Structure 1
Amino acid sequence: MKVFLVLTTFALAAAVNPLEDDGRISGKNGWYIPQPDGSLLWMAIDVVTNLLAELANQAIILGLPNDSPVYFYLYTRKNQYSAQQITADYDSISNSNFNAEHPTCFVIHGWTQSYESEMNGLIRDAWLSISECNIFVVDWPRARSVEYISSVAAVPPTGKEVARIIDYLVNNHAMSLEITRVIGHSLGAHVAGYCGKNVCSGMLQEICGLDPALPCFSFDKPNERLNENDAYYVKSIQTCGGRLGFEKPIGKDARYPNGGKEQPGCELDLTGRCSHARSCDYYAEAVQGNNFRSIRCNDYEDAVNKNCSGPYSDDKMGAVNNYEFANGVFYVLVQSSPPYGDCS
Structure 2
Amino acid sequence: MITESYGLVKITYPGIGTFTDVDFYDSKWRPFVAIPQSPEEIRAIFMLENRKNQFTPYRFFYNEFEKIRSSPFDPKLRTKIIVHGFIDSSSSGHWMRDVKDKYLEIEDTNVIICDWSRANFFPYTVATANTRVVGPMIGIVIQQLCKFFNVTEDSFHIIGHSLGSHIAGYAGKFLNGKLGEITGLDPAGPYYEGLKDTRARLWHTDALFVQSIHTDATHLLESFGFGTYETFSHIDIYPNGGRTQPGCDQERSTAIQTEGLLYGVRRLIMCNHQRAIEFFKESMIDPESTPFAYACDSFEAFDRGECSECGLDGSRCTILGMMAQKYRSFIKNPDQTIGRRYFLTTSPHNIFFSKKN
TM-score, length-scaled by structure 1: 0.76
Aligned to 2:41: 67
8 Å CA contact 2:240–2:299 kept in 1: the answer is no
Tell me the SS of whatever aligns to 2:59.
strand
Aligned counterpart for 1:318 among listed residues 315, 321, 327: 321
Q: 1:50, CA displacement in angstroms?
A: 5.1
Q: Secondary structure at the match of 1:282?
A: helix
Please say if 1:341 is aligned against 2:339.
no
Tell me whether 1:232 sits opposite 2:213 in the alignment.
no
| SS at 2:145 equivalent | helix
> Is the 1:333–1:342 contact (alpha carbons within 8 Å) kept by the matching residues of 2?
no
Q: Identity across aligned pairs (percent)?
A: 25
* Structure 1 segment 281-292 matched on structure 2, within 5 A: 281-290=278-287, 291-292=289-290
Preserved CA contact (<8 Å) 2:69 2:148: no
Residue 295 of structure 1 and its aligned partner are, at CA, apart by 3.4
Deviation readout 1:145-192 (Å, 9 max, x if unpaired): 232222111011110111111111112212232321011000000000
Q: Evaluate the alpha carbon distance shift between residue 315 and residue 305 of structure 1 in structure 2; reply closer, same or farther with a 3 A threshold.
A: closer
Q: How far apart are the structure 2 equivalents of 1:143 and 1:278?
A: 24
Q: How many residues align?
A: 292
Aligned to 1:100, what secondary structure does the other structure show?
coil
The answer for the alignment partner of 2:3 in structure 1 is none
1:210 matched to 2:185: yes
| Closer/same/farther in 2, CA of residues 226 and 166 from structure 1, 3 Å limit | same
Letter in 2 for 1:106: I
Letter in 2 for 1:284: K
Q: Which residue of 1 aligns with 2:160?
A: 184
Note if contact 2:214-2:228 (Cα within 8 Å) is conserved in structure 1: yes
Alignment of 1:192-271 (within 5 A): 192-199=168-175, 203-219=178-194, 220-242=196-218, 243-267=225-249
State the Cα distance separating 1:230 from its structure 2 match: 0.6
Secondary structure in structure 2 of the residue aligned to 1:195: helix
Corresponding residue of 2:12: none
Q: Residue 314 and residue 91 in structure 1: after superposition, are their counterparts in 2 closer, same or farther (change >3 A)?
A: same
Q: 1:303 Cα shift?
A: 7.0
Relative to the length of structure 2, the TM-score reads: 0.74
Structure 2 stretches lacking a partner, 5+ long: 1-24, 219-224, 253-266, 311-315
Partner residue, 1:331: 343
Please give the alpha-carbon distance, in whole angstroms, between the structure 2 residues aligned to 1:47 and 1:224: 15
Query: What's the CA shift for 1:110?
Result: 0.4
1:315 is paired with a residue of what secondary structure?
strand
Question: 1:84 matched to which residue of 2?
Answer: 58
